[in-house]
Amino acid sequence: MKIAVIGGGAAGMMFSTQYKKANPNDEVFVFEKSQYVAWAGCPTPYYIADELSFNDVVLGTPEDFIKRGVNVKTLHKVTDIDFKNKTLNIEGNDINGIFEYDKLVIAVGAKSFVPNIDGYSENLENVFTLSHAEHAIKIKEYINDNKDKIKKAVVVGAGFIGLETAEAFNIKNLEVTVVEKADRIFPTVSENLKSEIYESIEKHGLTLKLNSGVNKIISENNIAKSVQLDNGENLDFDIALFSIGITPNIEFISSELKTENRKIIVNDKFETNLPDVYAIGDCIFNKFYHTDRNLYAPFGDVANKHGILLAKYLSGQNISWKGLLRSFATSFYDIKLAQTGLSLEEAQSLGYNAEKIEMRAMYKNSGFKDSFPIKTEIIYDKDKKVLLGGAMVGKEAVAQFIDQIAIVITLETPIEKFIEIDFAYSPTNASVWNPLLVTYRKVIK
């Protein structure tokens, strides 16, 4: 068996190593167009801020995987796929031309999406996107090489990467303006929970402009000077990041492959509509857990799960990918935000008899000077008495509490069973009242 994998990111490398381990006599070829494999996108803002090292972004070398029996080919670009004849057209040094395969795994990841903005060009020296380790290296090098000249930064897009990179620019002593076309950040999270993030943005001296789209970039000699907003305002800058969103790298793939909104459609075995063709990672649609709703979730942990499960399936195991709850966590300086499942508005719009529980959770005894309450909202179904979602903002343990909520949603654990969970407790490590226990007290009368 000869398996070709297009893309050497988290999904591609996880699949390749796990499959090769289970099937040592099969050949696995990974074609990666960049010079890096096993790179992680989520840590890149912290690499730019000098808080993480390069080894925290690129987690292995091609040689590391070659030693495990995986034929890794970096700087090899797949330009075309002939699905009928099972061949790839490849441009590279070791392989240049037609490559035959038995099964194909598409793990091409995604790239930053930049809309049709007047004056935008990939050739602008000081305008960047951030969806790959290569981009992070270029941004960091540009700042270091021009540290005496760079004073102002503009970040277009206030999503995860946008705000995290705005923090990185701020740490690098730049004057930062964040521009967001929508009227809020993190739209699925209630405004009540986000107040501390807005306060932290102001506290650290960043400017956040909501309801502000960019319609023009003004440049001179390939150096951008300013952006013009929809309202006519001009913002001068020395470096800019466009972090509006990402879209799968599938422009070279023919229309034979079924897609929706430029995401590849797969079933619960990661099979596409074409025989012997599979897709994993940031280029596919997942399902929102227990529903038929498509959900795009370009996260590193999700990509790794895809790789593990597909390797098991192609090794003969019976697996089924159930989907996701859209769990996420992010932070801005010391303020952390996490969410899983449905918001109250989403739950009600889907027909649930949903209600919200508000509380202040604690991750240690409230008497300690460094103990700060976590603002919490938990969504539950009043009829079935099960959780539907939750969101938290605080300084510690936010993601860990949200993980607990994700577990009981996934297992469909009735709220009445929460009293039976044996939570760990000590004044320095955990509150006596876990948020799930508080939920039990508020719901079960």
* pLDDT digit string (tens) for the chain, length 445 residues: 999 999 999 999 999 999 999 999 999 999 999 999 999 999 999 999 999 999 999 999 999 999 999 999 999 999 999 999 999 999 999 999 999 999 999 999 999 988 889 999 999 999 999 999 999 999 999 999 998 999 999 999 999 999 999 999 999 999 999 999 999 999 999 999 999 999 999 999 999 999 999 999 999 999 999 999 999 999 999 999 999 999 999 999 999 999 999 999 999 999 999 999 999 999 999 999 878 899 999 999 999 999 999 999 999 999 999 999 999 999 999 999 999 999 999 999 999 999 999 999 999 888 888 888 999 999 999 999 999 999 999 999 999 999 999 999 999 999 999 999 999 999 999 999 999 999 999 999 8
| Inter-CA distances, 208 with 178, 245, 394, Å | 5, 18, 21
> What gap in Å lies between CA 42 and CA 300, rounded to an integer?
7
Question: Could you tell me the two tokens for 3?
Answer: 């398996």
Q: Are residues 335 and 302 in the same domain?
A: no
In a domain, 120, yes or no: no
Cα dihedral 183, 184, 189, 191 in deg (nearest 10): -90
Q: Of 154, 136, 160, 127, give the one whose Cα is nearest residue 52.
A: 136
310 and 332 assigned to the same domain:
no
Q: What is the pLDDT of residue 391?
A: 98
User: Longest Cα pair distance anywhere in the chain, in angstroms?
Assistant: 70
What's the pLDDT at 292?
Answer: 86
The last residue of a domain, from among 206, 228, 244: 244
Q: Are residues 200 and 217 in the same domain?
A: yes
Q: Evaluate whether residue 399 is within a structural domain.
A: yes
15 and 94 in a common domain: yes
pLDDT for position 290? 78
Q: Which of 214, 244, 274 is the last residue in one of the domains? A: 244
Contact 402, 329 (CB under 8 A): yes
User: Which residues, in sequence order, are CB contacts of 372 under 8 Å at separation 6+?
Assistant: 394, 395, 396
Within a domain: residue 288?
yes
316's CB contacts (< 8 A; 6+ apart) are none
User: Are residues 88 and 159 located together in one domain of the fold?
Assistant: no
| Residue 368 and residue 439 in one domain | yes
Calpha distance 355→348 (Å, rounded): 9
Q: Which residue's entry shows tokens 């090769």?
A: 20
Three-state secondary structure call for residue 284 = strand
Together in a domain, 172 and 131: yes
| Crossing angle of the two packed helices 10-22 and 300-314, in degrees rounded to 10 | 30
SS3 of residue 205 by DSSP: coil
Residue 421 in any domain: the answer is: yes
Which residues are bridge partners to 98 per DSSP?
89
**96 in any annotated domain:** yes
pLDDT at 249: 95
Rounded to 10 degrees, what is the CA torsion of 129, 134, 138, 141?
Answer: 140
Q: Are residues 203 and 297 in the same domain?
A: no
Count of domains for the chain: 3
Question: Is 50 inside a domain boundary?
Answer: no
One domain for residues 360 and 425: yes
Tokens of 415: 């709220």
* Amino acid sitting at position 26: D
pLDDT of residue 369: 86
CATH of the domain at 196: 3.50.50.60
Residues 212 and 307 in one domain: no
258 inside domain: yes
190, 217, 244 — which closes off a domain?
244
Answer yes or no: do 211 and 306 share one domain.
no
Alpha helices in 210-256 (DSSP H): none
What integer pLDDT is reported at residue 258 of this predicted model?
97
Domain with 234, as residue range(s), is 127-244
d(CA 389, CA 391): 7
Helix axes 435-443 and 398-410, enclosed angle (nearest 10): 50
- Give ∠ CA 214-216-217 in degrees, rounded to 5: 105
> What does the pLDDT read at residue 364?
87
Taking CA 158 as the corner, what is the angle to CA 280 and CA 163, rounded to the nearest 5 degrees? Answer: 90
Instruction: Tell me if 121 is assigned to some domain.
Output: no
Half-sphere exposure (Cβ direction) of 13: Cα atoms closer than 13 Å: 24
pLDDT at 283: 98
**Residues 211 and 267 reside in one and the same domain:** no
